[in-house]
Amino acid sequence: MARPRRSESTREALIVAGINHLSANGYHGTGIKQILDEVKVPKGSFYNFFASKEAFVAELIKAYSQDLIRQFNQFVEQDGAHMDALTKLKTIVNLSLVRYESVEFKHSCLIATLSADLDEDNILCKQALNFSVEECLSIFTKLLETAQAEGCVRKDICAAKMANLYWSTWQGVLLRMRVSRDKQNAQDNMFLLLETLLIK
């Protein structure tokens, strides 16, 4: 018997709701029923779209990352095109922190939240996270290479290593901010990294 015709709008609604719930409550703190109730989708229909919760969350990571990278690229190439690379990095920090503050720190970066919450056997999700992180690192590596060329950032450490340091610090700052709810401290830590450790 053929499965019901898939509705792309319903699938998209599940993904949006899933990202909101998991970025706030993590993998173990979010039940599929919460999301289905919000979108008003019966449980049986969920499996027309996703084979399991793990497959669903892997799709959420992919969708979240694609949107994040789209926003990064749009800022770098359009809104922040007039800025030097170091200023772009600082502005990305500020814009992100303002966004998290606007929701009273109830939501955070899905990548950071899930990285701290996934079990070892969630292979699909871990693969999706690793791929997402690599894509984000690629963007920051390019920005730091540009900053090196502009003379804003030290050249004795390769851009890829600095991007790793930047990303690891950022993810830690976001997790800490979920508890402290202190945007200024988060900004101070990121700017300290950019202004002291990355500038020779």
For position 2, what pLDDT does the model report? Answer: 46
Phi, psi of 166 (to 5 degrees): -60, -50
Residue 24 belongs to a domain = no
Q: What is the distance between the alpha carbons of residues 158 and 150, in angstroms, rounded to a whole number?
A: 15
Number of separate domains in the chain: 1
- Stretches where the chain sits below pLDDT 70 are 1-6
Cβ contact 57:21 at 8 Å: no
User: What CATH number does the domain containing 95 carry?
Assistant: 1.10.357.10
Structural domain including 175 reads 60-197
Residue 137 belongs to a domain = yes
Residue 36 belongs to a domain = no
Q: What is the distance between the alpha carbons of residues 105 and 139, in angstroms, rounded to a whole number?
A: 25
Residue 70 belongs to a domain = yes
Residue 45 belongs to a domain = no
Residue 131 belongs to a domain = yes
Using alpha carbons, list the distances in angstroms from residue 55 to 48, 52, 123, 126, 154. Answer: 12, 5, 10, 11, 41
For position 4, what pLDDT does the model report? Answer: 47
Residue 76 belongs to a domain = yes
For position 1, what pLDDT does the model report? Answer: 41
